Structure 1
Amino acid sequence: MTYPNIPQYFAIDGNVEDIRPFGDGHINDTCHAVLTNPSGKRQDIVLQKMNTKIFKNPKQLMDNVIRVTDHLRHKIVQRGGNPARETLEMIPCRDGAWYYQDVDGECWRCYYMIDGTMSYEKVENPTVFYHSGRAFGQFMADLSDFPAETLFEVIPDFHNTAKRFRDLQEAIEEDLAGRGGSVPEEIQFAQKRKHIAGYMTEKMQAGELPTRVTHNDTKINNILMDPDSGEGVCIIDLDTVMPGSCVYDFGDSIRFGASSALEDEKDLSKVYMDLDLFEAYTEGYLRAVGDQLTPEEISNLSMGAIVITFETGIRFLADYLQGDTYFKISRPEHNLDRCRTQFKLVQDMEEKYETMQAIVEKHRPR
């Protein structure tokens, strides 16, 4: 991959000393660049090529990011925090735009790297996950007064689980990659749980669950953590910030972080939802979000974990059946392995649902 000349296009001075791939995100291409300005000071920045096959409206996406980070910056200042450290700071292009489009039509953006932080690919202990819950709970609380309906819907129906199920049915019928015959158990598992697909969407359409500003990718690796205190510092990867329901955000954290194994674990005997981790996150999240959630939202947090895990599983399965056109893969059955871990988690959560509900009630704000 080639990168545009950063000082030429973005409003940052300095010579590029080093530039290399960074992170392992599924969607965008990211690199870490080190610049030295004329006075010799080092500046670390992140440069990303946005995946416009998925994010088809980069201007609206960046408008969302700028508006949300501006709002967060204001809230952070109000409580005496450090906005340069606690939310992303985008670097505009020299012409004032928030992204640069190169001669090939590729769209690039740039932001300052936040020093002295780390991220986890997997939750290592309940304390780490507690602080993860606090970070995402604070994010939700800070944005509770933001008019969610004014944000652009970056990916329409992103967490419309009922539509995701219909997409899976279409993928099964078309079987574009000729793989349907090799996954009958996975297809049967999904079809037996069709009722799960409409659970949250029906509540949202009925107004029982309010529309909020949601992150929509609340994995622990989207939090920068302080290695000394262990506390969450900054929520990153804001591409999918848009209107949604907090129960999906909560559930996605549980799906990814409370799992005993990585998202693509092949040995399903290692995969289950850890109740201690579930409780740690729930306690941290509800302490931070305080009284900003409605009773109905709190009562549906556990079900949110089941629904989003099921949704993620059927998305991986549909992509596998379509020939791996959405998620990046590193091996031929990567998406199938991902699907199987999600389905194993769904089954385990179903068995632990009553215990999960008791934990939520234990930590419900009084």
Structure 2
Amino acid sequence: MQEITKERLKEVRENFQFEGTLIYEGLYGSGHINDTFLLVYEIAEMGQIKVILQRMNNEVFLKPVELMENIVGVTTYLRERIIEHGGNPERETLNVIPTISEQPYYVDSEGDYWRSYKYITDATSYDVVEKPEHFYESAVAFGNFQYLLDGYQADTLHETIKGFHDTRARVVALKRAIESDIMGRAAFVQNEIAFALEREELGNYLGELLLIGDLPLRVTHNDTKFNNIMIDNKTGHGICVIDLDTVMPGLAVNDFGDAIRFGASTAVEDEQDLTKVACDMELFALFTKGFIKGCGGKLTPQEIESLPMGAKVMTYECGVRFLTDYLQGDIYFKTHREGHNLDRCRTQFKLVEDMEAKWEIMQEIVKKYS
């Protein structure tokens, strides 16, 4: 993607329905995919208004128009549901700012796609869990996301990244990477390869339940990291789910599982000292309690029973993806050191191993809060 110049930013700004005098413009957030800017406008006697302006990454999201159709459809539906429940739609969901031609996106002179959102005031997204209660609040918010979208027809959404959580396909891709071994690395990671292939059945488990109708297809977020929740600065409650780029049809247990994989780990995702890596059962219990509460009775008994498997499968899938990328020469995930993707793979597989050791505890926790 080409460099963003001041001239391009000016062109983009002038094509959105922004009001007032621009008094600040700068990079914003810690995301690695889209280019995000915070703009501050002053409007006479009304004070200052903040907006988010983003250039969408068309190398990751190949169909930005379909992506925005998903976001507009889901946020419009969420606004209606939030109003029905007496909430504040200006703070409890993303609000797309249209262009001057009343479109949800703008295509600039270089062919890049841009979108803009109203800034959610007096709320913060955190990259790490600083307080356990914040992790609980994120669980309630992600669960409430499921609750509010329960009536939305999931099969009307576009698949923004094809096969994103198709674990079976991820295992097939790993096997191809092992066979081709284009970087000559397979000989050095035989333990990791053996670990992945010994658990190959995990790749089929949830997909089979979906096929036979035991798990329903739902609108899912598919990137349930802790930092995709806005925490209200005053109340400490999780008020809004953000980063809806990967909203598409999926499984609620995958959303639960990805959040556990990321948030209940005792170590960072690329920790090299595997003795530090474990799945914290207190955090697992806290998230389970909050997620089930947030879902408000919309989960089926089979979905609730499958929550631990969602955590295990999502962690396994992520490890498989890191291992595949390592074998292929680190072409997908950004790396910052030699063997970075291999370190990431090892932490995920260590988490899977730890979950296996604590399997009965995880099942008991889920039973307790169901």
TM-score by length of 2: 0.94
Match of 1:320 in 2: 326
Distance in 2 separating the partners of 1:185 and 1:339: 11
Change (3 A) 1:261 1:66: same
Q: Does 1:190 align with 2:209?
A: no
Letter in 2 for 1:335: N
Match of 2:61 in 1: 55
Q: Does 1:4 align with 2:2?
A: no
Match of 2:95 in 1: 89
How far apart are residue 69 of structure 1 and its match?
A: 0.6
Moved more, 257-266 or 28-37: 28-37
Moved more, 300-309 or 101-110: 101-110
Moved more, 151-160 or 23-32: 23-32
Letter in 1 for 2:244: L
Distance in 2 separating the partners of 1:123 and 1:12: 34
Check the 8 A contact 1:215/1:238 in 2, yes or no.
Answer: yes
Distance in 1 separating the partners of 2:105 and 2:186: 40
Q: Given the alignment, which residue of 169, 178, 190 partners 2:175? A: 169
Change (3 A) 1:38 1:334: farther
Distance in 2 separating the partners of 1:177 and 1:30: 34
- Residue by residue, what CA displacement relative to the aligned partner does 1:165-218 show, whole Å, maximum 9, x if unpaired? 111111222233443333222222111111111111111111111100000011
Q: Does 1:287 align with 2:296?
A: no
How far apart are residue 362 of structure 1 and its match?
A: 0.5
Match of 2:352 in 1: 346
Q: Given the alignment, which residue of 311, 333, 356 partners 2:317? A: 311
- Residue by residue, what CA displacement relative to the aligned partner does 1:214-262 show, whole Å, maximum 9, x if unpaired? 0001111100001332210100010111111101001111111111112
Change (3 A) 1:90 1:329: farther
Change (3 A) 1:151 1:40: same
Check the 8 A contact 1:7/1:14 in 2, yes or no.
Answer: no
Moved more, 119-128 or 337-346: 119-128
Q: Given the alignment, which residue of 251, 254, 264 partners 2:270? A: 264
Q: Does 1:127 align with 2:153?
A: no
Change (3 A) 1:334 1:37: farther
Match of 1:36 in 2: 42
Match of 1:219 in 2: 225
Change (3 A) 1:229 1:54: same
Distance in 1 separating the partners of 2:259 and 2:34: 20
- Residue by residue, what CA displacement relative to the aligned partner does 1:297-344 show, whole Å, maximum 9, x if unpaired? 111000110000000111122122222222233334332222121111
Q: Does 1:233 align with 2:212?
A: no
Check the 8 A contact 1:258/1:278 in 2, yes or no.
Answer: yes
Letter in 2 for 1:225: I
SS at match of 1:84: helix
Distance in 2 separating the partners of 1:179 and 1:42: 54
Letter in 1 for 2:283: L
Check the 8 A contact 1:264/1:341 in 2, yes or no.
Answer: yes
Change (3 A) 1:332 1:16: farther
Match of 1:251 in 2: 257
Q: Does 1:139 align with 2:112?
A: no
SS at match of 2:23: strand
What is the aligned residue count?
Answer: 364
Moved more, 60-69 or 219-228: 219-228
Q: Given the alignment, which residue of 98, 103, 125 partners 2:104? A: 98
How far apart are residue 356 of structure 1 and its match?
A: 0.4
Check the 8 A contact 1:26/1:327 in 2, yes or no.
Answer: no
Q: CA RMSD in A?
A: 1.6
Letter in 2 for 1:4: L
Distance in 1 separating the partners of 2:20 and 2:336: 35
SS at match of 1:17: strand
How far apart are residue 38 of structure 1 and its match?
A: 5.6
Q: Does 1:64 align with 2:53?
A: no
Q: Identity over the aligned pairs, expressed in percent?
A: 49
SS at match of 2:261: helix
SS at match of 1:198: helix
- Residue by residue, what CA displacement relative to the aligned partner does 1:104-134 show, whole Å, maximum 9, x if unpaired? 2221111111111112222234322211111
Q: Given the alignment, which residue of 17, 27, 37 partners 2:33? A: 27
Change (3 A) 1:27 1:320: farther
Moved more, 100-109 or 170-179: 170-179
- Residue by residue, what CA displacement relative to the aligned partner does 1:21-61 show, whole Å, maximum 9, x if unpaired? 22222322222222334667322221212111221111111
Q: Does 1:206 align with 2:251?
A: no
Check the 8 A contact 1:91/1:112 in 2, yes or no.
Answer: yes
